[in-house]
Amino acid sequence: MAFLLRNSFWLFVLFCYIPNAEAQMNYYDQRSGVEILFPSGISIFPHQWSGKKVNPDIQPVSSEEFERLEDVLTYALSKYPVDMLTANLDKVFVLKSMKFYGLPYGGTNYRHTIYLSDDNDNPWFTNEYIEQVFHHEFSSILIRNFPTYFDKTKWLSLNPPSFRYGKGGADAILNGTADMALNPAEIEKGFLSEYSTASLEEDINVFAQNLFTGDREFWRLVDLNDTISAKAGILIRFYHKINPVFTESYFRSFYYNSTAQR
């Protein structure tokens, strides 16, 4: 859900400039109709987030980043069928940084909207990282919209018997357990990273971001680790129920295409 800070087929989609009082510049993805916005004020957030406890705080992204972000998000969006996007995603807001509860967030979501950070002063904010955050957050929206398609019982049965998820992403960063790197100790228990243990949703999110970004090490783990393979299979079946284009070979093609581009 909340992506807290841590660590081939291109579809060249045209974007068009749309002026907006609350944004420096907006674009519509002409393929899907999803709106990409670069806002300058906190009014972009739901009113429920405006209280002193949540205390939202943002910095707008530099206009120098617009073109790069258009390319990254064009590519991310191209991996989904158009009807899936139009039914489940309206807007993507991109900021340099955003904080809630005094904590820096790399991404979050609300209803059919995704919020992303792009701190070009931070070396962690690579194109791959930003794309991962997008898929991470979009998977939360899809799980929320299609709850019966996800086999929660089977997923939970794959966790160690005594394991209990934490209290969510914000709690994980407060406790210093928000590391996103693939973690051998957690992998042995069926989780990809330390952050995966923060909640069931974060566990799903981390698998989703890896399915869509084609990481070599992730697919090696799918091939070698029975629990990782089983969880990946559950999530692939979830996406396949939404649209049959999503098969294991389709997801693996992202890896092959990404390596071909290097």
Digit-by-digit pLDDT tens for the chain (262 residues) are 555 544 322 222 233 333 343 445 788 999 999 999 999 988 999 999 988 889 999 999 999 999 999 999 999 999 999 999 999 999 999 999 999 989 999 999 999 999 999 998 999 899 999 999 999 999 999 999 999 999 999 999 999 999 999 988 777 766 766 666 789 999 999 999 999 999 999 999 999 999 999 888 999 999 999 999 999 999 999 999 999 999 999 999 997 666 544 4
- Residue at 26: amino acid letter: N
The answer to whether residues 193 and 166 touch, using CB atoms and an 8 Å cutoff, is no
Distance (Å, whole) CA 201 – CA 131: 18
The answer to whether residues 134 and 32 touch, using CB atoms and an 8 Å cutoff, is no
Distance (Å, whole) CA 257 – CA 262: 9
Distances from the Cα of 27 to the Cα of 70, 93, 225, angstroms = 8, 11, 42
Residue 220: which residues within 8 A CB-CB, separation 6 or more?
none
Q: What DSSP designation does 20 have?
A: -
Q: What local confidence, expressed as pLDDT, does residue 182 receive?
A: 87
Distance (Å, whole) CA 9 – CA 31: 15
Q: 226-242 and 248-261 are packed helices; what angle lies between their axes, rounded to 10 degrees?
A: 100
Q: Is the dihedral of CA 34, 38, 39, 42 positive or negative?
A: positive
Which helix (H) or strand (E) segment is 39 a member of?
A: strand 35-39
Distance (Å, whole) CA 86 – CA 26: 17
Q: Please tell me the number of Cα atoms within 13 Å of 226 on its side-chain side.
A: 2
The answer to whether residues 204 and 142 touch, using CB atoms and an 8 Å cutoff, is no
Which helix (H) or strand (E) segment is 15 a member of?
A: strand 15-18
Residue 134, classed as helix, strand or coil, is helix
- Angle (CA) 19-107-104 rounded to 5° is 110
pTM for the full model? 0.89
Distance (Å, whole) CA 235 – CA 240: 9
Which helix (H) or strand (E) segment is 119 a member of?
A: none
- Angle (CA) 105-238-227 rounded to 5° is 80
Q: 216-224 and 248-261 are packed helices; what angle lies between their axes, rounded to 10 degrees?
A: 140
Annotate 79-111 with DSSP letters as a single string. Answer: TS-HHHHHHH--EEEEESEEEETTEEEEEEEET
Phi, psi angles (nearest 5°) of residue 229: -60, -45
